[in-house]
Structure 1
Amino acid sequence: MIVAVPVATVWTNPEAPRQLDQPALQHPLRIRDWLDSLSVPDRLQLCEDNLVQTQALYGTEVIPVEQRDNWVKILIPSQSTSKEAQGYPGWIPAAQLLDAPEFARLSAGSRAIVNVPTACLFDSQHQPVLEISFATVLPVAETGDVWTVVETPHGKRLLRTDQIRLTSALPGSVPNGQAIVEAGKQFLGLHYLWGGMSAYGYDCSGFAYSMHRSFGITIPRDAGDQSKQGTLIDLAQVQPGDLLFFAYEEGKGRVHHVGIYCGDGKMIHSPDSASKIEMIELAGYKLEKELCVARRYW
């Protein structure tokens, strides 16, 4: 099955959504209405009550494992996790999924990755059809100087060529980590969202995941798993684009946070439900003593 809305929130169980979360469950999706309505306590509850697991962008393939009324329990193969070998688990409203076997078979060839915060899909008459998020990945049917034709779960659509990066143009890794930092800077001031994986809101590891994903690099979904893979980097040798991890008990406990090193002793990250994506000086930062490991994926 394929995600058929700009971003589907993946819930812990069908009972998790509150009444105020209804706009996030619909198709068409009302993501902005939902997020605009959430107070800081509402956002904190998503985390503290373990309501949300992650999110999945338009066109993401998921594996259905169970259906209950209007809900589908799924696994997300593109979001690796120690929770489940086949991919990140959770529940999505059935209305936000589409059975699109022909689209699912389009595994080979070039792909378009949205590299601006949001882009619009257009129909063949150049009429706007759907707004999609940064790091959305869609198969390419035809490239052009102004428009690129992409395959979607709803058929062929158009994207502006200047709003995408083609995987066929990527050498397998970004030239340097500074490109990851520059991608992240587009989102300075964006409100944190627990489980967030889209340009409408990121959590700390979702932000790290998505900045890499925009260059065709897939890393684990959660900070704990991210801290165990990639290339281990000495903390004295970190470069822009490296991931910095923070653990409880002054770095000796469980990893609970990740940020992207920017150079010059600075880090860009999505801090917590009461905050927005920011760039900070590591020296004197409240988590400074919890810095425990650095990893490189580029």
Structure 2
Amino acid sequence: MPTSNKYVVNVPVATLWTKPESARDIDKEATTKPLNIEAWLTKMDYDNRLDLCEANRVQSQVLFGQAVQVLEESGVWAKVVVPEQPSKKDERGYPGWIPVCQLTPDADWDLANGPVAVVNSGKAILYSSGREPVMELSYQTILPLQEKGSEYITVKTPDGIGLLKAEDVSMRTGIDNRRKGNGQDIVEAGKQFLGLPYLWGGMSSYGYDCSGFSYSVCRANGYTIPRDAHEQADAGAEIELDKIQPGDLLFFAYEDGKGSIHHVGIYYGDGKLLHSPKTGKTVEIIDLEGTIYEKELCAASRYWQETEE
């Protein structure tokens, strides 16, 4: 292992597995480099997808260019924590296992102290310096900005230098200097994924789980929130249920709202919920009235703030 334990994800989206043996034969396309995330998702039927949750196989996912801290290596696997995904499971970041081949050591990788490019399109193609397609990147992939251009911008990647179309990104002075959106901005960020199939552990525009969806659209608006729903409920500003506004996160608990939190969605407004429901369903907007969600609604939390344009 290199002197530094700082690594960077070098595939479009790396899945964070519970343990090395969690990955199945059917998951090969998700555990290699290059990986084929679309082939993996297409190959899995309902039962295969449900098993990711039921067998506790997957914890989360990490996007291209996100840094992880490697704690140990075991064969072709690395135990890591993800600093950008706050979690009470580990104060250093969300823990899990990623194939070593999907990580590049880079002690100097830095998104905080220089300009960055943020993918705002649902997906964006990363091109080589010769403008040949290299890979498809997820929404909210963030890379160090090297040079601005009218049609293409130049970015640093874990594998060298690449190009992104200017229309697919926004440019910021640093990862901590992203624009802070308001509640309606959070709603609009989520609406673009209507119809996207649910994926347990999903943290990319290839598929979100419920808390991955709320995490991503909040992150897109400048707010880094905890990874898991029950922690999202605790970390934001508590909002009384009769005072909720669009963009607030709504939380749902077993036992008609009296038990443990198991789901999170975004308040759309007009009594509606925008969320990524469960395996076999897609991101949707529904009326809360008359649903199980109305009975299980237990808390609301706000991360957004009013903004002036």
TM-score bracket for the superposition, by shorter chain length: over 0.9
Residue 179 of structure 1: SS of its match in structure 2? helix
Q: Which moved more, 1:155-164 or 1:196-205?
A: 155-164
Is residue 101 of structure 2 the alignment partner of residue 95 of structure 1?
yes
- 2:246–2:266: 8 Å Cα contact kept in structure 1? yes
Q: 2:220 aligns with which of 199, 214, 230?
A: 214
Alignment partners' CA distance in 1, 2:136 and 2:179 = 28
Deviation of 1:172 after TM superposition, in Å, equals 4.6
Residue 22 of structure 2: SS of its match in structure 1? coil
Equivalent position of 1:173 in the other structure: 180
Gaps of 5+ in 1: none
Alignment partners' CA distance in 1, 2:178 and 2:110 = 24
- 2:111–2:143: 8 Å Cα contact kept in structure 1? no
Q: 2:128 aligns with which of 123, 146, 152?
A: 123
Aligned-partner residue type, residue 88 of structure 1: Y
Equivalent position of 1:277 in the other structure: 283
Task: Give the TM-score normalised by structure 1.
Answer: 0.96
Is residue 225 of structure 2 the alignment partner of residue 225 of structure 1?
no
Q: Which moved more, 1:115-124 or 1:159-168?
A: 159-168
- 2:15–2:98: 8 Å Cα contact kept in structure 1? yes
Deviation of 1:221 after TM superposition, in Å, equals 0.4
Equivalent position of 2:307 in the other structure: none
Listed one character per residue, the Cα deviations across residues 196-249 of structure 1 (whole Å, up to 9, x for unaligned) are 001111000000001111223211100011000111112111111111011112
Residue 193 of structure 1: SS of its match in structure 2? coil
Task: Give the TM-score normalised by structure 2.
Answer: 0.92
Deviation of 1:168 after TM superposition, in Å, equals 3.7
Residue 15 of structure 1: SS of its match in structure 2? helix
1:103-182 matches, cutoff 5 A = 104-168=109-173, 172-174=179-181, 176-182=182-188
Is residue 252 of structure 2 the alignment partner of residue 252 of structure 1?
no
Listed one character per residue, the Cα deviations across residues 87-139 of structure 1 (whole Å, up to 9, x for unaligned) are 0000001111111223x145312222111111011122222112100011111
Q: 2:39 aligns with which of 22, 33, 56?
A: 33
Aligned length: 296
Alignment partners' CA distance in 1, 2:97 and 2:220 = 25
Residue 72 of structure 2: SS of its match in structure 1? strand
Alignment partners' CA distance in 1, 2:295 and 2:268 = 18
Alignment partners' CA distance in 1, 2:8 and 2:166 = 24
Gaps of 5+ in 2: 1-6, 305-309
Q: Which moved more, 1:164-173 or 1:72-81?
A: 164-173
Equivalent position of 1:82 in the other structure: 88
Q: 2:18 aligns with which of 7, 12, 16?
A: 12
Q: RMSD in angstroms over aligned alpha carbons?
A: 1.4
Aligned-partner residue type, residue 247 of structure 2: G
